[in-house]
């Protein structure tokens, strides 16, 4: 194997690979937002689906990508007999082994090229899903004669149609094939199962799966094999189908209904003179409306139409990727960044499911993911983010918890798909973090006063109780005593989420871990577990609330009456925060008051008094953590387990330390500057990998932690047990930059980029994966919250371009390493609906800490000079008056 897996070929993220087909489990995503979603490998394995219950190709997990026989095949039969799979999937290894292979891919298409000397043919197969939203994947096949003789061959596209729910893989697999009603069409095969067997019961089937094909003259197949039974034949399989190997014509008399379906389309024999080429189009689609198939087909029924669609699709994704553009000293980084930049969009479409690594999901995203993916939207399109944010707040329950799965359609909240009542204690953190970013970028403080409802289902008092009388007819919106849907402001929702948690404490007066926090794997400490690290973040949130309330400049804040219970310091009987009993009692009182409904009565609280109460609570948290959780070992303890024992520090003669437990005290400001320095020394000592340079999520605890969570039952070095978990690593980098530790933040960011692009180890295409395992292999590609955080860190911290209540802040934290080969680097983004490129000019290539901003030039006009500061603010109005709607250049001179 060559020592690189891929190389970029332009500055738009396009790359090629000559060995991609040799890496098991390497996949590429294809999608549009209709939604149809695919994964495709170098030999066209992978699946296609619109949701969990509608898979056109058999669902493929990581391990299936090279083990499954089901793939998108394209057979060539030559006379005298020679058989070649143009996609490289055939039992006849001798024929395909020496194929000259190349994969090219870009935003968002894949092309494989195979040249086969024995047949004298070259096949180029381009796969993409049109950006124009039709529910199809397109295979565009070009066959060229590369020999010096005329080559005559019979081409057959062969797509096995699975056509049902993922559930049926091992649940009524055979019985569901009996539902298949297969229709032959002039251009292919349509399969419409009579019933859908899925989690919602047996319903009349209305999903149709189709495989249509045509040649360059828009002529359909000459013969169709509509069942796998006939196509494969007895004693064989999809890699050596009998009709191909024995050149058999279909048996027109055979029964085709109620069988495993096949989209095998045999085209008329072709003869190509040397250098001549021909092409075929194969459309693989899923629709709820069979009648639409013809009109979809008509939009792609010629090579010219398909090629046009491919160009439109490329343009669509390139535009998305270019929303934030980096011009650093390293072209590869800029290209790679372009891929990371579309990942938040990929996660919006795929959710946390539907790519081969993500075989635990049934669609949709978790609450935490929803909000973190929104960070990216708040940066790139605050206008669109606004309505999404308001909508998402309707998922908050009156007990501060929330619906956990958010479906593909925006408004669909699902309490829990598996009907298990669970509460993640960190869920209240993220909405404020995201809303605050949105407010900074847009200046739109008014969003806080927008009103929305609360989520209501049978789960009460943070899943401690269940409302047995509740039935779905109630709807998903909380009502008041007069049975009217209750609505409160966004600010009120934020207060609910953060105030409740202040009182929701465990044995050491830190906030209860409940069913887990950010680390989903800490799920076995429900009764007594505590998350100190997210307690620190709740402290920060309470402070952030003070800040936005003060900024809002309202004399009074309106809230529902019962919420006042939690503003104890404004009452006649403020409680003692050191007493967990008093806290729990007060929380119990609140839960009782809002258990089934709210009164609907509103009260006003003076903003300054509200701020006083919140500050008091926030300060208490900081003091408490400082007093109790700074360890002699020189870092913070972040957890207590179900046995009420401390999780981190020197335990059984070995250091136990997690990166999560250090990140949030730093991010929240609980850690002092001195402590950050000590933490950094210890993170390097205990968590940095000496060989790979990356930072592990935790040290090896060397034993299962059944009173903490499943994470420690995973092998050390993978997933939530000590992997190089990018989400946390990026958040760690983010908070280091935010606290002014640019050199150290840069080291973390660099380690992630280097591990991604060390393709000999990472074995993935350009993207930021969820994590790298102990061998440095990239795992769970594309769908990860770390992408949003990565973009956030690069834009707002490293380049330091961000909003502050609507004004533009320029506060670079670029280190000299970033100016290695150039004196000017830049980032292009949008701000205040203006496209801006911010160029950082560092003539003496000085390091962070050594330079300051000396001059700002906007569109060639000096805005400020003779400065000597780390940060410069351009007021929004001034920015608007000095910039235009097209393209604006801000030059920042660093001296």
Footprint of ligand G1P (CB under 6 A): 352, 366, 368-369, 518-521, 720, 727, 770, 784-786
Asked whether the beta carbons of 65 and 24 are under 8 A apart, the reply is yes
Q: Which of 520, 895 has the CB closer to ligand G1P?
A: 520
Q: Which of 518, 639 has the CB closer to ligand G1P?
A: 518
Instruction: Please report, in angstroms and rounded to a whole number, the separation of the first and last CA atoms in the chain.
Output: 47
Q: Which of 362, 876 has the CB closer to ligand G1P?
A: 362
Q: Which of 121, 767 has the CB closer to ligand G1P?
A: 767
Least separation in angstroms between CB 675 and ligand G1P: 25
User: At a CB cut-off of 8 Å and minimum separation 6, what does 668 contact?
Assistant: 536, 537, 539, 540, 622
Least separation in angstroms between CB 726 and ligand G1P: 6
Q: How many CB atoms lie within 10 A of CB 674?
A: 8
Q: Which of 368, 493 has the CB closer to ligand G1P?
A: 368
Least separation in angstroms between CB 404 and ligand G1P: 11
Least separation in angstroms between CB 697 and ligand G1P: 9
Q: Which of 519, 793 has the CB closer to ligand G1P?
A: 519
Least separation in angstroms between CB 394 and ligand G1P: 20
Of 174, 180, 184, 206, which is closest to residue 53 (Cα–Cα)?
Answer: 206
DSSP conformational letter for 695: B
Least separation in angstroms between CB 530 and ligand G1P: 18
E strands in 695-772: 724-725, 771-772
Q: Which of 373, 629 has the CB closer to ligand G1P?
A: 373
Longest dimension (CA), the chain: 98
Q: Which of 430, 872 has the CB closer to ligand G1P?
A: 430
Token pair in block for residue 755: 């591990």
Q: Which of 352, 546 has the CB closer to ligand G1P?
A: 352
Q: Which of 47, 720 has the CB closer to ligand G1P?
A: 720
Least separation in angstroms between CB 311 and ligand G1P: 32
Q: In sequence order, what DSSP letters do the residues of 283-328 get, joined into one string?
A: EEEEES-GGGHHHHHHTT-SHHHHHHHHHHHHHHHHHHHTTSEEE-
Least separation in angstroms between CB 98 and ligand G1P: 40
Q: Which of 498, 784 has the CB closer to ligand G1P?
A: 784
Least separation in angstroms between CB 281 and ligand G1P: 36
Q: Which of 520, 597 has the CB closer to ligand G1P?
A: 520
Q: Which of 280, 367 has the CB closer to ligand G1P?
A: 367
Q: How many CB atoms lie within 10 A of CB 686?
A: 21
Least separation in angstroms between CB 388 and ligand G1P: 18
Least separation in angstroms between CB 748 and ligand G1P: 15
Instruction: Point out the residue whose Cβ comes nearest to ligand G1P.
Output: 785
Token pair in block for residue 399: 């007990």
Q: In sequence order, what DSSP letters do the residues of 147-212 get, joined into one string?
A: SSS-EEEEEEEEEEE--B-GGGGSSSHHHHHTT--EEE-SSEEEE--SEEEETTEEEE---EEEEE
**Rounded to whole angstroms, how far apart are CA atoms 470 and 455?**
13
**Rounded to whole angstroms, how far apart are CA atoms 36 and 54?**
10
Task: Write the burial class of residue 19 (CB in 10 Å: 0-12 exposed, 13-18 middle, 19+ buried).
Answer: middle
Asked whether the beta carbons of 104 and 766 are under 8 A apart, the reply is no
Q: In sequence order, what DSSP letters do the residues of 354-371 get, joined into one string?
A: SSTT-TT--SSEEHHHHH
Q: In sequence order, what DSSP letters do the residues of 556-597 get, joined into one string?
A: EEEEEGGGGGG-GGGSSS---TT-HHHHHHHHHHHHHHHSS-
DSSP conformational letter for 712: G
Q: Which of 187, 336 has the CB closer to ligand G1P?
A: 336
Q: At what angle do helices 660-668 and 673-682 cross, to 10 degrees?
A: 160
Q: In sequence order, what DSSP letters do the residues of 423-476 get, joined into one string?
A: -BTTTTHHHHHHHHHHHHHH--GGGGG-EEE-B-SSEETTTTEE-TT--GGG-S
Least separation in angstroms between CB 714 and ligand G1P: 11
Cα–chain center distance at 660: 20
Q: In b/e form, how buried is each residue of 604-631, taking b as 16+ CB within 10 angstroms?
A: ebebeebbebbeebbebbbebbbeebbb
Least separation in angstroms between CB 527 and ligand G1P: 21
**Rounded to whole angstroms, how far apart are CA atoms 838 and 410?**
34
Least separation in angstroms between CB 369 and ligand G1P: 5
**Rounded to whole angstroms, how far apart are CA atoms 801 and 822?**
20
């Amino acid at each position: 194997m060559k020592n690189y897996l891929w190389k970029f070929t332009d500055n738009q993220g396009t790359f090629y690979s000559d060995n991609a087909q040799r890496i098991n489990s390497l996949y590429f995503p294809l999608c549009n937002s209709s939604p149809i979603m695919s994964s495709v490998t170098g030999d066209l394995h992978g699946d296609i689906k619109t949701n969990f219950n509608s898979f056109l190709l058999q669902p493929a997990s990581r391990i299936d990508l090279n083990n499954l026989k089901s793939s998108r095949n394209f057979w060539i039969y030559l006379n005298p007999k020679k058989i070649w799979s143009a996609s490289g999937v055939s039992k006849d290894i001798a024929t395909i082994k020496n194929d000259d292979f190349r994969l090219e891919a870009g935003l968002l298409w894949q092309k494989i090229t195979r040249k086969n000397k024995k047949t004298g043919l070259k096949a180029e197969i381009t796969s993409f899903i049109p950006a124009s939203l039709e529910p199809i994947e397109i295979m565009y096949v070009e066959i060229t004669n590369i020999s010096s003789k005329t080559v005559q061959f019979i081409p057959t596209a062969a797509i096995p149609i699975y056509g049902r729910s993922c559930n049926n893989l091992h649940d009524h697999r055979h019985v569901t094939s009996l539902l298949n009603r297969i229709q032959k069409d002039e251009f292919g095969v349509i399969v419409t199962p009579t019933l859908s067997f899925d989690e919602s019961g047996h319903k009349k089937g209305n999903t149709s799966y189709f495989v249509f094909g045509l040649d360059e003259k828009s002529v359909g197949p000459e013969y169709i094999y509509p069942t796998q039974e006939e196509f494969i034949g007895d004693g064989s399989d999809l890699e050596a189908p009998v009709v191909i190997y024995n050149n058999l014509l279909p048996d027109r008399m055979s029964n085709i209904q109620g069988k495993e379906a096949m989209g095998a389309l045999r085209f008329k024999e072709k003869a190509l003179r040397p250098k001549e080429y021909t092409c075929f189009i194969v459309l693989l689609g899923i629709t709820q409306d069979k009648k639409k198939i013809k009109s979809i087909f008509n939009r792609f029924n010629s090579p010219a139409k398909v090629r046009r669609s491919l160009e439109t699709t490329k343009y669509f994704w390139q535009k998305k990727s270019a929303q934030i553009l980096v011009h650093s000293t390293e072209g590869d980084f800029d290209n790679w960044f372009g891929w990371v930049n579309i990942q938040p969009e990929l996660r919006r479409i795929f959710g946390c499911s539907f790519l081969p690594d993500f075989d635990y999901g049934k669609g949709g995203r978790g609450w935490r993911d929803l909000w973190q993916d929104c960070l990216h939207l708040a940066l790139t399109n605050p206008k669109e983010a606004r309505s999404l944010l308001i909508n998402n707040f309707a998922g908050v329950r009156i007990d501060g918890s929330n619906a956990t799965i958010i479906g593909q359609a925006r408004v669909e909240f699902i309490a829990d798909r598996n009907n298990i009542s669970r509460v993640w204690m960190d869920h209240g953190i993220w909405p404020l973090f995201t809303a605050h970013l949105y407010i900074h970028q847009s200046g739109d403080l008014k969003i806080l006063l927008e009103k929305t409802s609360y989520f209501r289902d049978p789960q009460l008092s943070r899943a401690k109780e269940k409302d047995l009388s509740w039935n779905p007819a109630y709807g998903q919106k909380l009502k008041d005593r007069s049975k009217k849907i209750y609505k409160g402001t966004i600010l009120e929702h934020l207060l609910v989420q953060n105030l409740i948690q202040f009182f929701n404490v465990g044995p050491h007066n830190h906030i209860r871990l409940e069913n887990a926090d950010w680390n989903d794997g800490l799920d076995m400490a429900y009764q007594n577990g505590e998350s100190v690290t997210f307690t620190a973040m709740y402290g920060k949130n309470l402070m952030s609330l003070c800040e936005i309330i003060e900024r809002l400049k309202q004399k009074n804040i309106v809230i529902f009456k019962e919420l006042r219970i939690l503003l104890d310091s404004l009452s006649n009987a403020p409680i003692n925060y050191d007493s967990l009993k008093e806290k729990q009692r007060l929380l119990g009182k609140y839960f009782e008051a809002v258990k089934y409904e709210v009164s609907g009565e509103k009260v006003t609280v003076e903003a300054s008094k509200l701020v006083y109460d919140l500050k008091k609570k926030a300060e208490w948290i900081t003091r408490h953590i400082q007093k109790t959780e700074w360890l002699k070992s020189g870092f913070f303890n972040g957890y207590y387990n179900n046995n009420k024992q401390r999780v981190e520090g020197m335990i059984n003669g070995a250091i136990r330390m997690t990166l999560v437990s250090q990140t949030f005290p730093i991010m929240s400001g609980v850690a002092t500057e001195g402590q950050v320095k000590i933490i950094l020394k210890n993170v390097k000592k205990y968590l940095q990998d000496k060989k790979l340079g990356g930072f592990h999520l935790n040290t090896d605890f060397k034993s299962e932690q059944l009173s903490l969570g499943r994470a420690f039952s995973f092998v050390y070095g993978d997933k939530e047990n000590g992997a190089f978990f990018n989400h946390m690593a990026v958040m760690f980098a983010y908070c280091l930059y935010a606290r002014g530790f640019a050199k150290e933040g840069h080291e973390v960011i660099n380690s992630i980029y280097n591990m991604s692009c060390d393709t000999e180890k990472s074995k993935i295409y350009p993207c930021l994966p969820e994590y790298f395992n102990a061998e440095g292999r990239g795992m769970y590609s594309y769908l990860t919250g770390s992408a949003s955080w990565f973009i956030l860190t690069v834009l707002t911290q490293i380049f330091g371009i961000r909003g502050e209540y609507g004004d533009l802040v320029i506060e670079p934290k670029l280190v000299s390493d970033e100016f290695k080969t150039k004196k000017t680097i830049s980032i292009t983004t949008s701000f205040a609906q203006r496209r801006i490129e911010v160029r950082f000019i560092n003539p003496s290539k000085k390091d962070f800490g050594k330079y300051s901003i000396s001059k700002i030039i906007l569109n060639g006009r000096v805005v400020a000079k003779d400065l000597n500061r780390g940060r410069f603010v351009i007021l929004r109005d001034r920015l608007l008056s000095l910039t235009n709607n097209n393209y604006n250049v801000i030059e920042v001179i660093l001296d």
